[in-house]
Structure 1
Amino acid sequence: MRTVWKNPVTLHAIGEEGEDVVVDTTLGASWALIEDWPLEEGPVLDKALAVCAAVSNGKAKDEDARKALIEAAIEAGVRYTA
């Protein structure tokens, strides 16, 4: 969960005051999805949270969480740079 990703994801204008959020760990992805996300629910959001949990349980890889975060951003209409 705390392993730094080789390729961080920048989520644009999603922070508390509209700032960009740089996500470079699965833990960071979890926090962004829980705290900063513009949607309260959605199937891809749910999947991304499940993938982050699977990483913490050793059942998925950090890259899986990164990809799931990007997919959730697409679902939510969040601009990102990856």
Structure 2
Amino acid sequence: MTIILENLEPEILEKLQNKAISHGRTVTEEIKVILTEELVRDNEQNLTKKMDQSEWHNHSGKFVRISVITARDR
């Protein structure tokens, strides 16, 4: 697959080039890393949101299910 980015603002292109250089990557490699990290972060946020909606909670980096049992439930 080929993706073409046109008309990037010069400041954005310069930041991208500088970031790539600082990480020892080509601009293409840097773009791949940025996209991958963003998509992984988005998936993690969606997973956390779904877990929160189903009574799963992130507690100190671990997901735990919290159930509340009342006297009536016993």
TM-score (normalizing by structure 2): 0.30
Q: Greater Rg, structure 1 or structure 2?
A: 2
Q: Which has the higher contact order (CA 8 A, sep 6+)?
A: 1
More helix, by proportion: 2
TM-score (normalizing by structure 1): 0.28
